[in-house]
Structure 1
Amino acid sequence: MKGLAVTTVAEQAADALRRKIMSGELPEGMSLRQDALAAEFGISRIPVREALVQLEGEGLVKIVPHKGAVVSGLSIDEISELFMLRSLLEPVLLKKSAPRLTAEDYAELDAILAEYKVELHAQHTTRWGELNTRLHDVLLSRAEQPRTAAIVATLLQQTDRYTRMQLSLSADSIRQAQQEHEELVQLCRNGDVRGAASLLKRHIEHASKDLEQFILAQRKPAK
């Protein structure tokens, strides 16, 4: 990797590490050595330390005294709680946002859906989480409830890597996610706000259930 720019070095290092964690390139439990990261980014250890502190605040990194930083992993209960909070808050925002969505918003949603379909069929997993987050962001963008929106944005960020994992489970998961997103946008476009909110809640709960089953299977000790 080329050296990072002199300005906002810590932020750029945090962005680079965040992308690696979200994509799964840096898996749960992996040690993040400051000297190795500083060498990779071509910067000093101070901005690397600042970046790790920032990512700890986002729940992506855990800094252990006398041991250093590791990529954080969430328990099944913690993951389920994050998705549960999303299933409660996102429909509330959607009910307020959907009636205010503009023609420009729907044009953006259609573009996201089109790109999402291409990336899903091409199995480009690194784009799935980003497009999923963008679609949810646009759908909820007109709610005019900034505090709730900020909480949901954090929840989306914290569940992003798990959303990608859930989407990659099977072809059926991919098809269902695509179908639900398209139906969600159409319900909003048709003015069926209650139906859209109900579908959004089921969509999040379904993702959580599939993901929980997958993680339990992955973490089960080998016999």
Structure 2
Amino acid sequence: MRMEASPYHFLVRPAALSRGSVTVDVTNVLRQAIVTLALRPGQSIDKTAICEQLGVSRFPVSEALARLQGEGLVDIAPQRGSAVSLVRIADVREYMLIRKGLESEALRVLIGKHNGEVIAALHANMAAQREAAARDDAETFHEVDVEFHDIIFRSMRFTRIKGIIDSARANLDRARRLIITPRRLALTIAEHKAIFDGILAQNRDQATMAIRAHIDAVMVELFAFARDNPALFADGDSLDADSDSFPFG
């Protein structure tokens, strides 16, 4: 008799589940599936099937979903069950505004010091971006893209600022993955190069204008995608023709 494939076959059971880490491990597995869009926005969640796939009891799965609800990744409705939360454009817009300001200041700090180690890391990262794009490897490109910005942030050596960025990254990463296309990969490389050129030229204005233009461009594409695919967004229907500009300059 042929066994029916699990609807959660993409969830990989952690290699070593210990009593004290089961909830954490299950939370990490589910978060990764949501952020990478293996679990799509709006998709219902079958706790029993997840338990069977991961080989765990219902308690750690329920606890994991509660934690992910706190991160804005899961919706839990009494009598109706759980579902992957829809992406909120308003939240992404606010987070990107925070990044816009923080990364602009991070670039000013970096250019003032001209840290050779950071420059070398950015050189290597740009090469990795081109290699991933050439392979049309969207997942690797996304990881390298995130690292590009992290290199800039680390130059500030402010752990609290890094914490603010990381705390909201999951929902932003979901939104950005929705618009990954070969065209967006090529544009991102060009936009990152403009930022890097400003760093190499020791030109604060050039670099900060480039980072702000990059963030604006991503948001414009995301707004356009949300208007075309409103079902994936909690507030997709609220976007109109005037929503393709990213406010605050």
Of 40, 44, 50 in structure 2, the residue corresponding to residue 27 of structure 1 is: 40
Compare 24-33 and 41-50 and name the one that shifted more.
41-50
- Tell me, yes or no, if the aligned pair for 1:101 and 1:139 is still in contact at 8 Å: no
The number of residue pairs the alignment matches comes to: 219
- Cα distance, 1:80 vs. partner? 2.4
Cα gap change, 1:25 to 1:104, in 2 (>3 Å): same
Structure whose CA Rg is larger? 2
- 1:183 maps to what in 2? 194
- For residues 54-203 of structure 1, what are the structure 2 equivalents within 5 Å? 54-100=67-113, 102-168=115-181, 171=183, 173-203=184-214
How many Å apart are 1:92 and its aligned residue? 2.3
Pairwise CA RMSD of aligned residues?
Answer: 2.3
Moved more, 58-67 or 175-184: 58-67
- Who is 2:25 aligned against? 12
- Taking structure 1 as the reference length, the TM-score comes to 0.86
Is 2:218 the partner of 1:207?
yes
Name structure 2 gaps, 5 residues minimum. 1-11, 237-249
- In the superposition, the TM-score normalised over structure 2's length comes to 0.78
Q: Mark the runs of 5 or more structure 1 residues left unpaired by the alignment.
A: none
Q: Identity rate of aligned residues, in percent?
A: 25
Query: 1:84-126 CA deviation, whole Å, 9 max, x = no partner?
Result: 2322332123322443463332232222222221222222222
Name the SS of the counterpart of 2:229 in structure 1.
helix
Q: Distance in 1 between matches of 2:121 and 2:23?
A: 32
State the distance in 2 between where 1:41 and 1:135 align.
33
